[in-house]
Structure 1
Amino acid sequence: MSIVGRDAEVTPGTVVVVIDVIRAFTTAAVAFERGAAEIVCVASADAGRELRRAWPDRLLIGEVGGLKPADFDYGNSPLEMSAARVEGRSLIQATTNGTRGLVRHPHAAALLAASAVNVAATARWIAGNHPGTPWTLVCTGRGAEDRACATYLDGLLRGTDPSRADLIAGIGAGAAEHGHVAGEDLPFCTDVDRSDFAMVGRVRSGRVTLSAVPG
C-alpha cells in the first residue's frame, strides 16, 4: 500500500488508483453525471485527435497547458462540463497529467481514476471487488490536492476515519499553487463525494476506457 507520483514504477497486480483532482478526473466525473456513456483516456492531445479521426462521432475533451485546444469540443473544466450536452455520448479525454498518468498502468489488477468527488465510492468499489489486494495511489500532479486526496483515500481503504476538512484544505492549497487554472472549477473540485460511482478502466492498445460503476 503506497502513495506515489505519476512517473513511479508500480508493481503489476496491484489495484492502481490514478488521482487528478484539479481537474481531469473531476471533469470526467461530472461528464458521467451528465450521462456520458464512456470516456476513452489517452496520453496526449495528438493521440486524442488521431482517435477522433477514427471515431468521428465521439467528443474530444481536455487541455494542453491548462487551456482547451481550438479543435476540442470541451476543455478540462468541470464547470463547463456541468452544462455540456453529453448524454449517451462517448468521449475522448486528453490531459497533461491525469489521462497521461492513467495509461501508464496496463498490468494493474484493477485500474481506477479518482478525485475528491468520488473518493468514497472508489474506496467502496475496491473493498467490494478486490478485498485484500494491495493498492497503489498515484498522484499525477505535483500540487497538494492530489496528495491530500490520496491520503484521504488511503485512510478509507485502511478503515480509518480521515479528515474531510484536511482534504478540502489540501485541495485549496493545491488550487493556490495552480493560480488562475483552478478558477471557477474549484467548487466542483472540493465537492467531496458528490458522485456515487467509481470510474473503472479497461486497458487496450495504449488507452484506457473509463466506465462509471456504482460504488
Structure 2
Amino acid sequence: MTIKIIQGHNHTLGASRINVIIDVIRAFTVAHYAFIKGVQGIILAGTLDDAFRLKRQFPEFILAGEIQGLPIAGFDLDNSPVRLQNADLRGKFLIQKTTNGVKATLNSLNADHIFVTGFTNARTTAEFIKHKLLREDTAISIHLIASHPSGDDDLACAQYISGILQNSNRISADETIERIRKSEAAKKFYDPAKPDFLQEDIGLCTRELSSEFVMKVNYKDELPLIEKVQVQELNHE
C-alpha cells in the first residue's frame, strides 16, 4: 500500500486506485449531514455558471454552497451544517459549489474509487477502504487530498485517515479535533464580527459520527455525483 497526502485543490494527479478528498470546514461535513437527513445525491458544480445551469436543467434540485465561505446569492442553502438542520432534504438532490472541497474533487477524478469526507465520517471511510478494498489489493495506491491549500484542519484529518489505514497511532481522534479547532480555517468562526460563520458549525465539524455509509463519487455521463454507499458489516479481523 502506498499512501500519498496532497494538500490543496489545484493539482494534477496521476492515476491511482483510490482518491479520498477531505473538506472538514465545511463542504463534506455538510454533505455527510445532508445524506443523514435523506438527500439522494449531490452533484458537484465547478463554477457558478455550472451550478445555475444545472438548476435550470433540474429546477427541483437544491443549490448549496459558498464562495470564500460566504453565502451565494440565488442559492437555496449556504455551507453551514447548522443551518442545514432546518432544511427538509428527504428524497432530494443537491447541487454543491464550494471553494475547496468541490474543486479538489473535480481535479481528482482519475481514480478507480473516489471518496469524499470530512472528519465526521473519516473513520468510517478509512475502515471501509481498509476492510473492503485493501483486502483485494495490498499493493494499492491511495491519494489523500487535504483540499484546503494551507489549513491544518484537512491535513490533520488526512493524517488521521492515513494512520487508520496503516494501523498506527500517528494521530488520535482527540488530537485531530484539537488541530481542527485551532486551525486557521476555524478562526473566523469564533469572530463575533463575522455572523455568517457560526461557531456551532465547528462543533458539528468535529463530531465523529457512527455512520453506516460512505460518500463515493460516481462519474458516469460526465456528471460527478456523490452517492451514499452502505457499509455492510465491516470485517475487523
For these two proteins, the number of residue pairs brought into alignment is 215
1:197 aligns with 2:213: yes
C-alpha separation between the residues in 2 aligned to 1:9 and 1:116? 24
How high is the TM-score relative to the length of structure 2? 0.85
Query: 2:4 corresponds to which residue?
Result: 2
Amino acid in structure 1 at the alignment position of 2:172:
S
C-alpha separation between the residues in 1 aligned to 2:181 and 2:39? 28
How high is the TM-score relative to the length of structure 1? 0.93
Query: 1:173 corresponds to which residue?
Result: 182
Describe how 1:13-162 pairs up with structure 2 within 5 A.
Answer: 13-131=16-134, 132=138, 133-141=140-148, 142-161=150-169, 162=171
CA contact (8 A) 1:103 1:207 kept: no
In structure 2, the CA distance between the partners of 1:20 and 1:57, relative to structure 1 (3 Å rule), is same
> Which stretches of structure 1, 4 residues or more, deviate above 6 A after TM superposition?
none
C-alpha separation between the residues in 2 aligned to 1:166 and 1:55? 42
Amino acid in structure 2 at the alignment position of 1:149:
C
C-alpha separation between the residues in 1 aligned to 2:17 and 2:183? 27
CA contact (8 A) 2:180 2:186 kept: no
1:214 aligns with 2:221: no
Amino acid in structure 2 at the alignment position of 1:14:
R
Query: What is the CA distance between 1:175 and its match in structure 2?
Result: 5.6
Structure 1 residues without counterparts, runs of 5 or longer: none
Tell which deviates more after alignment, 73-82 or 120-129: 120-129
Query: What is the CA distance between 1:65 and its match in structure 2?
Result: 2.1
Max Rg structure: 2
Q: 1:163 aligns with which of 142, 162, 172?
A: 172
CA contact (8 A) 1:118 1:196 kept: no
**Superposition CA RMSD, Å:** 1.7
Query: What is the CA distance between 1:11 and its match in structure 2?
Result: 2.1
C-alpha separation between the residues in 2 aligned to 1:176 and 1:69? 19
CA contact (8 A) 1:175 1:182 kept: no
Q: Deviations over 1:37-92 (max 9, x none)?
A: 00111212221111111111101100112111121011101101122110000111
Q: 1:187 aligns with which of 203, 208, 220?
A: 203
Amino acid in structure 2 at the alignment position of 1:93:
Q
Structure 2 residues without counterparts, runs of 5 or longer: 190-196, 232-237
